[in-house]
Structure 1
């Protein structure tokens, strides 16, 4: 059986992606999350009530030892199955002006986005290469493309992930594995709940925040066979914000 894995998949954009991969592409979805059991169970319930299949994998993507242990346990129970879609969505923000940024706020953000990408993708890519097919989608951000003041750490993490996307795409393209990045702008999620939407939307040509489902539609397309000639790309989904 072929599976899709979504990291940080219990809420927001991750949840929307997991639901669409399960219902539209019919993948049994592995939803990774680090802390919120209630949100993860809710995601699983939504997917199953829609006729999809979902398993929950609880671990922090930044902890290589634990991440590998959980994934190896899953692989041991599914020796003939393969994870052929990886969506690296897990990310955190620790915003603040760079001059006052604490070392732990710098490293925590890079560890989740960047080390998380390495810990998951590097561990699973060998089987993908052997299978000669795969889809890797990295959720980055407008911050990683144009930079955002007050988010030097987040911009650095996502910008590095953009570069990693382009490099890895060239390494694995011959094996029919595509690697792309999706860069959302302002999307209605828990992460943007405290933002001044009324003021911020004035700088967005589309004059609104995006919906998590709109990002999920794009990721679903990139996860499908229809996207086989698109690789190494960074696709902005931001309502027209300059990037």
Structure 2
């Protein structure tokens, strides 16, 4: 994933709001990157631009060698279904579907064949092979998030994007999910980009990227939660 001089504004004239300002960066393939920043720093806009959910006002966004900027919505939808996995804080599972049906939903909507061997491996990796017939209401919050991660992985995406994936989970379950992210990065070579407000969650990443006022305000490599919290306290002065 690569952003080149990306600026994103909303509104016009005196009402214009600049969410991202000339952001240039690259997320290495097979890495785990966390994005942090105070409220209003541009984290959500950043993730939306990377995912092709929002188009930058200026600059370019690439997924691998594919430029997302300027693509038609149908083309973007096809890319999001096959090459981008998305994990939300609220799980976004279909209550009427089983675990297996939820995991394969995106593939079936995109009319893509389901690789049964890969499906079994993904369900094994996330520890959900015993629950394939259950519905979301029969699962704990952590189990539901594991299903959401499996759904994001089953299309073998170029990148997995996670938006506050542990925000609704207790501490122990959050650790399980974060260890799962590290596992898929290290064992599967998966690229993971996670937005979080939690220094402990961010400490599982290889790189922590900080945003402030829509700009990149530095980064740390394999930092401790304490180092991340210390950097966050100074972002307001940046």
> Does the pair score TM above 0.5?
no
Larger radius of gyration: 2
More strand as a share of residues: 2
